[in-house]
Chain A
């Protein structure tokens, strides 16, 4: 079974803090993704990566950055957290050439106060 794990299920941070969300997959997938999920908006793609050290902006990259130093790990970074970044963050992975079948982690619910 593919397993995608996220470092925290719930996180509470203060405005202006630097926040790291970590994601690890154990199936040697080339592609990894970060989404945010908000009620009534579905999932929106923040960033994705198709290889180590490679990254591409998604639909809403502003205020976020990512890091992929190892194939199995993809980190989402909020350089200076703001209240409008309070959301559910979902990580996903997929095999190269098969980006449509993605495997999702359980999500991290981030609250920025």
Chain B
């Protein structure tokens, strides 16, 4: 079965500093991996997705993630945090069964201070 582990439940950064949200996955297949973001009182929004093309994936709002098969990781990064990045972030793997179910990590809350 597929699974993802988000290594930090909370990450705190200062505005203008880099962001790193860590995710490790477990998969018997070549996985599809995603990051979703949830701003307060809003639904989840797709940030980016990896589907076996380029290993470095660029998403919205300056975020990117790198798929590293040797490390089974898919960490999310951003060079410079903005106050509006404060949200909860979910790493997600897609099960390649007949119906591609999404399996969510437990989430990382990003706090951005001025």
Contact = CB atoms under 8 A, between A and B. Distances in A.
Interface residues of A, number: 23
Contacts, number: 53
B102 A99 contact: yes
A53 B65 CA distance: 38
B112 to A, nearest CB: 20
B52 interface: no
> What is the size category of the interface that chain B forms with chain A?
20 to 34
Interface string A69-113: 000000000000000000000101000000111111111000000
B99 A56 contact: yes
A50 interface: yes
B106 A100 contact: no
B99 A99 contact: yes
Interface of B: 9, 32, 34, 36, 41-46, 49, 51, 90, 94, 99-102, 104-107
Interface of A: 4, 9, 40-45, 48, 50, 56, 58, 90, 92, 99-107
